[in-house]
């Protein structure tokens, strides 16, 4: 009887102990859940904040670029004499779009060739304003300024000096009595085209069809002469020079790249000389003495 009683007591104690351990994992589960919530919720908030901040930063950056384009546009307007600012007065330029944003620019004459330029971009409640004081030397008097590309059609004649902001094309017996400056490429094709002044392009230049350039040539890219084209002055070529078809350069050649001649082409002056900026190229002066940016 003692053995049976002892066994029953043992079984009873084990059952009691098992019932006491039920629910012991719950506090640990609650602790883990609480810690998880404390970590996850801030992370979700941080991700949302980061996304919003990134969007705001991107918007601001686009506004800065757009306003800066407005400053550059104003400087060009002054230097090219496209816009004349009255002494002591101001001019508000026509609104334009940059980076999909409206840009408004005001130019104020401060005297002694100094100009205050204010350019703003954005929308009400979220805009960027750049204010500068800039010294600008305008282009020489007498230049005809053409904004964008220009094509001189067959038979066109002029005694003007031209400054063109885009590409230039001459086609068929054109006669230009002055200088030609282009911010893009210059292409002269067809027969008997004559340019009596100097020719300067920031890009590539192509002369063909018996083109005669009485002055000198400056190319910020490559210079190509074909089909009896002749340059009577010097050639300043930052890129490569390619000559063919009895073409000639009567002056010296200042080159930054290579020279290729074929088909009876010839250079009568000295070459190759180390490239340098053409002394006849117009060198405008722009100096920004102050540049402030503010946000709304």
Give the per-residue pLDDT at 47.
56
- How many Å apart are CA 35 and CA 178, to the nearest integer? 81
155 torsion bin: left (phi>0), alpha (psi -120 to 50), beta (else) = left
Q: Residue 228: what pLDDT? A: 94
Evaluate whether 58 touches 50 at the Cβ level (below 8 Å): no
Determine the pLDDT at residue 272: 95
Whether 182 has a pLDDT exceeding 70, the answer reads yes
- pLDDT category, 113, cuts 50, 70, 90? confident
Q: Residue 195 — pLDDT band, cuts 50, 70, 90?
A: very high
Is the pLDDT confidence value at 10 over 50?
A: no
Mean of pLDDT values over 236-259? 97
What local confidence, expressed as pLDDT, does residue 45 receive? 58
Do 193 and 249 reside in the same domain of the chain?
A: yes
CA dist 78 to 92, 102, 135, 188, 239, Å? 12, 21, 10, 30, 30
| pLDDT mean over 71-100 | 90
Claim to verify: residue 98 and residue 216 sit in the same structural domain: no
Split into its structural domains, the chain has a count of 2
Residue-wise pLDDT tens digits, 218-231: 999 999 999 999 99
Do 97 and 120 lie in one domain? The reply is yes
> How confident is the model at residue 246, as a pLDDT?
95
Q: 58 in a domain, yes or no? A: no
Q: For residues 295 and 120, which has the higher predicted lDDT (pLDDT)?
A: 120
Confidence (pLDDT) at 229: 96
pTM: predicted TM-score of the whole model, two decimal places: 0.60
Q: Is residue 120 part of a domain?
A: yes
Q: Scanning the structure block, which residue is given the tokens 């930052």?
A: 238
79 in any annotated domain: yes
Q: What is the model's pLDDT at position 44?
A: 56
Per DSSP, the residues of 98-109 read ETTEEEEEEEEE
What per-residue string of b and e applies to 56-84 under the rule 16 or more CB within 10 Å gives b? eeebeebbbebbbbbbebbbbbbbbebbe
Give per-residue pLDDT as tens, 41-60.
Answer: 665 555 555 555 555 567 88
**Residues 263/245, Cβ–Cβ less than 8 Å:** yes
pLDDT for residue 109: 93
d(Cα 276, Cα 240) in Å, to the nearest integer?
Answer: 14
Average pLDDT, the chain: 84
Domain hosting 134: range is 64-139+287-295
Q: Same domain for 174 and 252?
A: yes
Q: Are residues 107 and 88 in the same domain?
A: yes
Is the confidence at residue 137, as pLDDT, over 60?
Answer: yes
Q: Do 158 and 250 belong to one domain?
A: yes
Strands 143-146 and 235-237: unpaired
Cα separation of 59 and 97, whole Å? Answer: 15
Specify the higher pLDDT residue, 133 or 40: 133
Residues 119 and 241 in one domain: no
Indicate whether 135 and 148 sit together in one domain: no
Residue 98 has pLDDT above 80, yes or no: yes
Given a cut of 60, whether residue 179 has pLDDT beyond it is yes
Are residues 105 and 152 located together in one domain of the fold?
no
One domain for residues 239 and 221: yes
Does 26 reside within a domain?
A: no
Q: What average pLDDT does the segment 75-98 reach?
A: 89
- Asked, as a colleague might, if the bond just before 15 is cis with ω within 30 of 0, I would say no
In a domain, 40, yes or no: no
What pLDDT is attached to residue 147? 82
Distance CA 162, CA 168 (A): 10
Summarised one tens digit per residue, pLDDT across range 144-178 is: 888 889 999 989 999 999 999 899 999 888 999 99
Q: How many CB atoms lie within 10 A of CB 259?
A: 18
pLDDT digits (tens, 9 = 90+) for 198-216: 999 999 999 998 999 999 9
**pLDDT for 271 beyond 70:** yes
Same domain, 263 and 151: yes
Which uninterrupted H or E stretch holds 16? helix 2-21
CA-wise closest residue to 220 among 161, 292, 278, 176: 278
On whether residue 208 sits in a domain, the answer given is yes
């Amino acid at each position: 009887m003692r053995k049976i009683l002892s066994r029953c007591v043992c079984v009873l104690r084990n059952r009691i102990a098992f019932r006491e351990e039920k629910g012991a994992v719950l506090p640990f589960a609650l602790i883990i859940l609480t810690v998880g919530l404390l970590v996850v919720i801030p992370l979700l908030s941080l991700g949302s904040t980061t996304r919003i901040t990134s969007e705001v930063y991107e918007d601001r950056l686009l506004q800065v670029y757009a306003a800066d384009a407005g400053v550059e546009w104003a400087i060009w307007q002054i230097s090219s004499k496209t816009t004349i600012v009255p002494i002591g007065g101001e001019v508000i330029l026509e609104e334009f779009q940059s980076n999909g944003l409206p840009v408004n620019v005001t130019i104020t004459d401060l005297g002694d060739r100094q100009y205050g330029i204010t350019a703003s971009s954005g929308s009400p409640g979220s805009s960027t304003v750049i204010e500068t004081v800039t010294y600008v030397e305008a282009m020489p008097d007498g230049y005809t300024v053409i904004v964008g590309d220009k094509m001189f059609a067959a038979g066109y004649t002029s005694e003007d000096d031209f400054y063109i902001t885009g590409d230039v094309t001459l086609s068929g017996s054109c006669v230009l009595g002055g200088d030609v400056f282009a911010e893009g490429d210059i292409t002269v094709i067809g027969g008997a085209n004559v340019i009596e002044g100097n020719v300067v392009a920031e890009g590539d230049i192509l002369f063909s069809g018996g083109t005669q350039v009485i002055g000198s040539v400056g190319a910020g890219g490559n210079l190509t002469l074909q089909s009896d084209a002749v340059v009577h002055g010097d050639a300043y070529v930052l890129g490569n020079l390619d000559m063919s078809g009895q073409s000639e350069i009567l002056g010296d050649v200042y080159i930054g790249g290579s020279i290729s001649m074929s088909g009876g082409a010839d250079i009568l002056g000295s070459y190759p000389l180390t490239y340098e900026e053409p002394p006849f190229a117009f060198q405008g002066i722009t100096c920004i003495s102050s540049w402030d940016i503010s946000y709304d």
